[in-house]
Structure 1
Amino acid sequence: MQINELLKSLKELNIKPIYLIQGNQDYLITKIRNNFLSLIPESERTMNYANYDMETTNISNAVEDAMSLPFFGEKRLVIVNNPYFLTGNRSKEKIDQDIDSFVNYVKSPQNSTIMLIIAPYDKLDSRKKITKIIKKNSEIIDLSNMSDSEIKNYLKSKINNNGYTIDNEALNQLIQRTSNDLSSAMSELSKLFLYCYNQKSISVNDVNNVVTKSLDQNVFDLVNYVINNNINESINLYHELINSSNEPLQINAILLSQFRLLIQVKVMSDKGYSQGKLASKLRIHPYRIKLALQKVRNYNYKKLSMAYLGLVDMESQMKSTQKSADLLFEMFMIKFVN
């Protein structure tokens, strides 16, 4: 089910007993949560609304609540957050989750209860019995792989509803600067609205002036400089990142991740994998695959591998020597270009 279909069905009071929201999209999750909460009159929420975090609470508490009839109302809302047991993850707390009671409830839910399961994960473990049962017996809203057009439509709608306009170049730049993360982009809009209050239109220069690049986006630019043999630009940007209190090992880890992805995309695209199949196989957001495909067309496997192995060696020296990160990166660039 698409999010617009969900919101429409809730408005029309066409309500199912169990919903599963999957994906790490804070903005949309908050919007969905608020729409569900609006189904319970404010005067009834003390008795007919409960919110449980599976990282700290046993699922049996949520099940027990869900099985109870609403108190002087028509519906009870029970929200189950962070159900890590639907993934391969483990909880920080040692909780012996009563999965059997949860399975029994999902198979035969209380019709007067709305159970909203919020799983902020890109992927669930479909091999698990509980995951299979929930997917079979619930309405699923998957936010984990939103397309470029869906993200653009949400941003455009928000911008237009606030009385502003934005051109395509500015919209693309906003998405790039926020690493294609809808929640981050939405949070930046309030700054842009204030900055562009007089003209009510947002240009690419406005985005560049207001929206700060994320570390991932800066490293993305750094990758471009490296593979294009731009020594000065690479070293200057690396210095800027270090001076902005970013940890050298963190920067290096993101660089390694980027080059690893480029190598994977290069090898698999040469074997005929399409953008969609690459995203599915590598479990990477389609937007990142799209950008990687644009890059690897101009570079061979040997050059990408050389960069990756050089960064591996650089990380090893960071951990085993007293050489500064700046010096190590300069040595890496000189060796890579020559």
Structure 2
Amino acid sequence: MNEIDLYKSISTQSSPVYFMSGDERYSIEKAIDMAKGTLKESFRELNFTVIDSEYDTDMDMVINSCESIPFMDEKRIVVVKNSELFQVGANKSCAKEQIQKISNYIESPSKSTIVIFAPIQADKRSELYKLIKKKYDTYQSDRLDKLRFSTWVSNKFKEKNVSIDKNTIDYFVQKSGYLFRESQVTLFDVESEIEKLSTTFSHKQVSIVDIEKISSTVEENDMFKFVDYVFVGDIQKAYSIMRNISNNTKNSILAMSLIARQISILLKILVMKRNRLSQEEMASFLMMHPFVVKKSIAQLKYYTYHELISLYDLCSDIDYRIKKGQIKDNIGLEVVVNKICKNKDVV
């Protein structure tokens, strides 16, 4: 099912069960909002339920929500945002009986309920996914390629009635950072930047200079590039970005937290490797893209378990000293970066 077909189906309430998953959540959240909008406004909140099994692990509650009768409306909508239901192997946290309960419901769903499964990640080898795929259409929301993203951006500017030429749009596309490899920028972030431009420059044609003044998304993405450079030992590129980061205390602290986060990820992956988990299982457990896990595994060759613990303790100590005013944030960041890069046998 493509995006247009999904929206059409959702708007007409034509299926009792939907499955939508993927790295780019924008179209998924739009579909969920669209589904909610089909309910009568006066009783909308009573007939709309969101369940996240990360917190709500009782599948009986999911079934009860699906089988409840709508209040003063023809339909009720239940959104199940989870990944546990669609895991396999060592990461499978839901009991077989729980999965069977959901499977039984899918085989014979309530005619007055629309249930939307919208996990962040889903293993397509899972029993539940295979059952849904067999009986209903599914939607996969992957990140946009350059052509689709450029078209999306252009259409968004038109929706906001922003006057902007093609060259400036091309510049914005690059500036956004969305297309960068392993980018953390989402369509929500990009839409927010477009909204700022449309609000600030509503009565003039937007120029490249205007974008430079307003847009900030790429700086955030530079943070992730910086961390990547640090952990592959590319000290020159890391320092190139760090010079810009160090001009802002908030950025330095964010960079420190991202470095500590990556060390934590490496520690978790190291433990999972020792327990012989596959890359797919690691990605599912960590709720990360498999490519990011693969990249992190490659970084592990530079560290022992004790070195990672030592680096994590160093980050905690430097963070404490920065907050106590015992050391400047830019100096603290430089100390951490130098220490990490000393573990490398390549520069």
Shorter-chain TM-score bucket reads 0.5 to 0.7
Per the alignment, residue 214 of structure 2 pairs with 210
> How far off is 1:104 after superposition?
0.3
Asked whether the 8 Å contact 2:63–2:105 carries over to 1, the reply is: yes
Could you say if the C-alpha distance between residues 207 and 69 of structure 1 is closer, same or farther in structure 2, counting changes exceeding 3 Å?
Answer: same
2:189 paired with 1:184: yes
2:84 paired with 1:84: yes
> How far off is 1:233 after superposition?
2.7
What is the percent sequence identity of the aligned residues?
A: 18
Bigger drift between 160-169 and 148-157 goes to 148-157
1:203-239: per-residue Cα shift (whole Å, max 9, x none)? Answer: 2x33332222454423426767975946863552464
1:232-272: per-residue Cα shift (whole Å, max 9, x none)? Answer: 63552464577631253633765999xxxxxxxxxxxxxxx
Q: Distance in 2 between matches of 1:37 and 1:19?
A: 14
For these two proteins, the number of residue pairs brought into alignment is 292
Q: Distance in 1 between matches of 2:9 and 2:172?
A: 34
2:198 paired residue among 190, 193, 198: 193
Could you say if the C-alpha distance between residues 84 and 240 of structure 1 is closer, same or farther in structure 2, counting changes exceeding 3 Å?
Answer: farther
Bigger drift between 166-175 and 244-253 goes to 244-253
> How far off is 1:19 after superposition?
0.3
Asked whether the 8 Å contact 2:227–2:259 carries over to 1, the reply is: no
Q: Distance in 2 between matches of 1:314 and 1:326?
A: 18
Q: Structure 1 regions of 5+ residues with no counterpart?
A: 258-281, 293-304
* Matched ranges for 1:127-138 at <5 A: 127-138=125-136
Bigger drift between 148-157 and 162-171 goes to 148-157
Per the alignment, residue 124 of structure 2 pairs with 126
Per the alignment, residue 147 of structure 2 pairs with 149
* Matched ranges for 1:21-40 at <5 A: 21-40=20-39
Per the alignment, residue 248 of structure 1 pairs with 256
* Matched ranges for 1:1-338 at <5 A: 1-11=1-11, 13=12, 15-45=14-44, 48-54=47-53, 55-87=55-87, 98-121=98-121, 124-164=122-162, 165=164, 166-176=168-178, 179-203=184-208, 205-212=209-216, 213-220=218-225, 227=234, 229=236, 233=240, 236-237=243-244, 239-240=246-247, 244=251, 245-246=253-254, 248=256, 250-251=258-259, 283-284=290-291, 309=302, 318-319=311-312, 325-327=333-335, 329-330=337-338
- AA of the residue aligned to 1:210: I
Q: Distance in 2 between matches of 1:320 and 1:51?
A: 39
Asked whether the 8 Å contact 2:66–2:113 carries over to 1, the reply is: yes
Scaled by the length of structure 2, the TM-score of the pair is: 0.66
> How far off is 1:40 after superposition?
1.7
> How far off is 1:198 after superposition?
3.0
Could you say if the C-alpha distance between residues 46 and 182 of structure 1 is closer, same or farther in structure 2, counting changes exceeding 3 Å?
Answer: closer
Q: Structure 2 regions of 5+ residues with no counterpart?
A: 266-288, 319-331
> How far off is 1:317 after superposition?
5.9
Scaled by the length of structure 1, the TM-score of the pair is: 0.67
> How far off is 1:47 after superposition?
5.3
Could you say if the C-alpha distance between residues 208 and 252 of structure 1 is closer, same or farther in structure 2, counting changes exceeding 3 Å?
Answer: farther
Please state whether the residue corresponding to 2:14 is helix, strand or coil: coil
Please state whether the residue corresponding to 1:15 is helix, strand or coil: coil
Could you say if the C-alpha distance between residues 211 and 179 of structure 1 is closer, same or farther in structure 2, counting changes exceeding 3 Å?
Answer: farther
Could you say if the C-alpha distance between residues 56 and 111 of structure 1 is closer, same or farther in structure 2, counting changes exceeding 3 Å?
Answer: same
Q: Distance in 1 between matches of 2:110 and 2:238?
A: 64
Asked whether the 8 Å contact 2:235–2:341 carries over to 1, the reply is: no
1:6-59: per-residue Cα shift (whole Å, max 9, x none)? Answer: 112334x26111001112444333311121112222234365433333222522
Q: Distance in 1 between matches of 2:49 and 2:139?
A: 21
Asked whether the 8 Å contact 1:235–1:329 carries over to 2, the reply is: no
Q: Distance in 2 between matches of 1:86 and 1:224?
A: 34
